[in-house]
Each structure stands twice: as C-alpha cells, then as structure tokens.
Amino acid sequence: MRHLVRYLALGLVSLSIIGCSPQTTETLPVDPAWLTAADIQMHFESGALTSEMLIQHYLERIEQLNTQGPELRAIIDIHPEALAMARERDAQRAQGEFLGPLHGFPVILKANIATNDGLPTTAGAQVLEGFTTDVDAELVAQLRAKGAIIIGKANLSEWANFRGQNSSSGWSGLGGQTRNPFLTTHTPCGSSSGSGVAVAADMAVLAIGTETDGSIMCPAAINGVVGMKSTRGSVSGHGIIPIASAQDIAGPMTRTVYGSALLLDAMSTYEARREYGIPLTEAVKAGSRVERVGVVRAYDQRFDGVAAMTQNIIERLRAQGIEVVEIAEWSLPNELYAAEIEVLIYEFQRDLNAWLSEFQSPAQAADMAAIIEYNLAHADQVLHLFGQEYFEAAVAVDLIEAEESYLQALTRGRELSSAHLDSYLVEQSLDLILMPSYGPAWPINHEDGDGFNFGTSTAAAVSGYPSLTLPAGQEGELPLGISIVGRPWSEALIFGFAGMLEAELGGFRQPQFIVPANEPN
C-alpha cells in the first residue's frame, strides 16, 4: 500500500474506482521490490510498472542500505539525473519508441568502467577521485543503445584487487568496505564486490562486474547471485581500467539466469552473437540440451554445505536422465599459476599506462609510476591497510627485455589451462563441467587480509573458456555457488542448462542482513 499511495501522489498511475467509469480498467502498479528481469519486462509491457517507479525504488534501497543500517557500501556514485532519464524512457515507450530489450532498465556498473555521463571512473582509488571521461566504454555504449539507464557505479576491491598483497576484498579508498548482505561481518569477495552485493540486496536488478581471475565468479557465488564470465573476446574491453587484456572481461551479475542472458545479449560483440547462434535469452527459455556432465567432488571434504550441494545436484541431474561423471581430483599445475602471474604483471604496466594515456587521466595518475608516488605521499590514507606490491612489481618490468619470457608464459598458461579442461570436455566427451565456485564467505580482516578457502575460477580465466556461477547451496547462512564451464562459444548450451538447474534448485534467496549484536553497523 505504501508504494501505491506514493505512486498515486506522484500522478504516475490512475485507478478505476467504484462509481467511476466501470467500462475502464487501469492497470494497478506492482511493488518493485525483488522483481526479476523477466518480471520487469512483463510489467513494463503491461503498464503496471514504469522505469521511474523502478528506479525510485532502487534509489531508496541504496539510501537505506548503502551507508545506513547494515552499511553495505556497495555503491560509490549515483547519477543525479537517474529519475529524469527514467522519465524520458517512459515517455519514449508511451509514444511507441522502443530502443531494445533493456529499454528503461537501470544498470549499475563497476567503478572501473568508463562512462561519458559525469559519473567518475576511479577503480576506487583516491588518486582518481572525481576523475571523469568524455568517452563511454564500448559495452556502455551498447547498453545505452539497447535502452539501458546507467544509474550509478559500484564499489570494488581497489584497482580490481591488484594493488598489493594482504588486501581485503571489497575495500577501496573511495568506497570503504563493502559488506556481505547475508552476514555483514563477512566478505563480499571481489573484486566486483559492489556489483554482487547491489543485486543481492535489491539495490539493482542488473549490474556489470569485471573478471581477470575470479572477480565475477567469487562475489557472485559468495553473495548468492548469478555471475557470467563469457568466452575471451565476447565482450569488448575498451574503456575498462585494466589489469591484463589477456584475461580481463566484463560480465553480468544478476539474480537470475535469464537476467544474466538478457544483459550479456546486449553487451556481446557482433562476432560473439554470431558464435552463440541464438539469443541467450532464447537459450534459457529452450532449456537444457545436455546429456553428459562432469561434477567435481574434490572439495566435498572442505565444507559440509559443499558436499551436500554437489550430492544434491548429482541426484537431481541423474533423476532427469543426465549422465554424471564424478571427478574426484581437481588440481592445476603450479606452472600454470606462475605463468599467469607473469602475464598479469607484464600486462598490468603495459595496459594500465595505455589506458591512463588514452583517457587523459590527471597528472597525479599520468602513469603507473606517478600513481606509486602519489600513494607513497599519501600513505597514511592510501596504504594504511595494505601495500602496493603489484604496482611496484609491474613498474619494474622492462617491457622490451621481458617480452619473450612474457609471450612464452602467455602461451604456456593457455596451453595448460585449456589442456586441463579439455581432458574432461573433449577426452571424456563431457558437455559441461560443474564445480563448486568458491567456499563460503570468510570474516573480514583488515589486519591479515583475505582468508580465501578455495576457488575454482583459474582454469576458465586463463584459458578464456566460458563459465557461469549460480546459487546452488549454503553453508549455514552463507550462500554457495556452482560453476558451469564449457568449451569456447558454448554460452547457449551453458545458459540453457543453467536455467534448468536454477529451476531445480530454487535459485536466488533473499539475504537476511544479519548484523551480529557485538558488531557495529
């Protein structure tokens, strides 16, 4: 009723009342809370929901949850014209002008994605505070062209968690510490922390994260939402503050598989859409075409919830007639991790300096060396929790002298990761591989940094194979996710299967925003 009264007061809806025009029936408004992307599409079309109503709801949620109450600190910046843009989309719809499947949909972007709209692009770093660009990242231009409204930017692990060792996921100098909405003393994981928390807490229905290795998969799994890292090259990286172009990719973070498909359809390159074969939303509706999958059981002994989750999935798949191959061991060679870090360090200097130059960053952030100097000069504000070892290692690399070694590491890492996945997908004729995404969230600890238990994102991250995580279980109050990995360009297969699995398992569950009594808000 609160929503209905507000919308009547705003003149957004009109109702037929007994005694007035019995032949006229107007559509009653719907409560915008916790709507899925599919719900929103339906209510937009029926007229029961407007973009203005939806964005007003999210702005209120952000005000309520971001720096008040549980202080989730998921959002850094909000567009001051968000409601005006919503009214424009509503007016276009009323006049029969429809820009695309995201018409009127609000989207939150990770704060390392450039926008030409006055919103700062900062990677959460103090050295870039207030920095704006006059160029949209390519994926942002694509979203706008489909009718999306960029309403704000999400907090993240500063510099996408590649500044220094012993960092705490979800902390940035500009945004503070993002918190897990299920248990606020625990990590949201990262680096796309704010994007994951925003959709989990209903501050947004659609958000964009970026991944180099685990930065979508971990916060999606740990916050109980759907995250997608698609095939390397399927989404343009232009405009994203980089770590390394060999692995960086943006992807959707949403509450449902359908929402993820809707967003990825809109931001995929032309080549990717051609490779997919059909729109990914249609793949979700069509359902699973999978006959034989592998399920990794190597982490069952780590947590009771993980064992219960994998066992439940196996039983449900077999009940549907899907052949399941249980995989007892899952270990990647140390050589792969060594090759990966060599590539990331080399490309970090090369790619970040190129981005700073192209986007004309301020003098204090003219290049990586300048950023290091700034951080040292403001160490009491910037470096008080952890250092900048990755910056220092990257700036020390001689790009010419190290090029041959770097190229060898790049090739070797891709060979090892692809061979590992292909030993199952190809040699054992599996359609897909399923594995626990990450262990449950751990307590936030700014003294010692992250307390990672386990994660399984590296093989897909380095090889460039697609991977999707969706909520599939829990460890106490904390969500657990299952990752689905397939061959390159198998997104349609993954989405069809993921939609079926989501229906089987129940999908997203709302967080309880537990704040322990002995902890501050």
Q: Which of 157, 172, 191, 195 is catalytic?
A: 191
State the DSSP code for 99: -
Q: Which of 51, 172, 215, 457 is catalytic?
A: 215
Bridging pattern class, strands 149-154 and 75-78? antiparallel
List, for residues 272-313, the tens digit of each pLDDT value: 999 999 999 999 999 999 999 999 999 999 999 999 999 999
Q: Which of 51, 110, 417, 483 is catalytic?
A: 110
Active site residue 285: no
Instruction: Give CA–CA dist 191/81, Å, rounded.
Output: 27
Kindly give the confidence (pLDDT) of every residue in the chain, 521 residues in length, as a single tens digit, with 9 standing for 90 and above: 333 223 323 333 322 222 233 333 466 789 999 999 999 999 999 999 999 999 999 999 999 999 988 999 999 999 999 999 999 999 999 999 999 999 999 999 999 999 999 999 999 999 999 999 999 999 999 999 999 999 999 999 999 999 999 999 999 999 999 999 999 999 999 999 999 999 999 999 999 999 999 999 999 999 999 999 999 999 999 999 999 999 999 999 999 999 999 999 999 999 999 999 999 999 999 999 999 999 999 999 999 999 999 999 999 999 999 999 999 999 999 999 999 999 999 999 999 999 999 999 999 999 999 999 999 999 999 999 999 999 999 999 999 999 999 999 999 999 999 999 999 999 999 999 999 999 999 999 999 999 999 999 999 999 999 999 999 999 999 999 999 999 999 999 999 999 999 999 999 999 999 999 766 44
CATH code: domain 31-334+410-505 is 3.90.1300.10
List, for residues 177-224, the tens digit of each pLDDT value: 999 999 999 999 999 999 999 999 999 999 999 999 999 999 999 999
Active site residue 110: yes
- Phi-psi region for residue 17, left (φ > 0), alpha (ψ -120 to 50) or beta? beta
Taking only Cα atoms into account, the Rg of the chain, rounded to an integer number of angstroms, comes to: 23
Q: Which amino acid is at 261?
A: A
Q: How far is the CA of 309 from the CAs of 163, 220, 456, 479, 495, in angstroms?
A: 34, 16, 15, 11, 20
- Assigned token pair, 97: 């002008």
pTM over the 0.85 mark: yes
Active site residue 236: no
Mean pLDDT, all residues of the chain: 94
State the DSSP code for 364: G
Closest to 476 (Cα-Cα) out of 451, 508, 441: 441
Q: Return the domain boundaries, the chain.
A: 1-30, 31-334+410-505
